[in-house]
Amino acid sequence: MKAIEPLRAYERYAWLILFLMWILHLVLSGRDFIPGLQDVCIGCLPGASTPIQASTGVTWSQLLVSDPKVARYLSSILVDDGISGVGVAVFGMVVSFTSYRKGEKWAWYLSWSNPIGILTAQLNIYLLTGSTFVILLAAVFIFACLLGLLLPYRQFFPRKRSAG
């Protein structure tokens, strides 16, 4: 009978890092339900263009006045994006709170979607706005996700014991 090693504190609670990153994803996705918030760029330095400004050349408020049909269309796309983002965030929260916390391998693999998603989303915003600040934010968030994924590595992939 092999002895089960107790988890270290950083292994036992690393799931919380991912859970908190999913909560952040939930909050940021929820802002898509209020299209007027598109004039506020959370990941931009003061004075930088928002993604809406970089795409259309005007702020959300100006777009509402100058072309209400396009604004209504973009509004529906933003709400769809918000619905998808909230759904993914809730799913990630459930996985990290249950299966990841228990050390199930499939949850570890699935949880890589968080840093990969952050990287692709922030690169997209960077290409759109040219704001290097979003790259800095991405690096911080990806580092946090990597901590949550790599600290409990041995919980998911224990060392092989020699038979002897």
In this prediction, residue 5 has a pLDDT band, given cuts at 50, 70 and 90, of low
The predicted model gives 27-45 an average pLDDT of: 84
Query: 110-132 pLDDT, tens per residue?
Result: 999 999 999 999 999 889 888 88
DSSP per position, 111-123: TTHHHHHHHHHHH
Neighbour-count burial of 51, counting CB atoms closer than 10 A to its CB (0-12 exposed, 13-18 middle, 19+ buried): middle
Sorted by sequence, the CB contacts under 8 Å of residue 133 that are 6+ apart come out as 43, 44, 45, 48
Task: Evaluate if residue 46 carries a pLDDT over 90.
Answer: no
Task: Evaluate if residue 9 carries a pLDDT over 80.
Answer: no
The pTM score is 0.84
Q: Are 151 and 10 in contact (CB under 8 A)?
A: yes
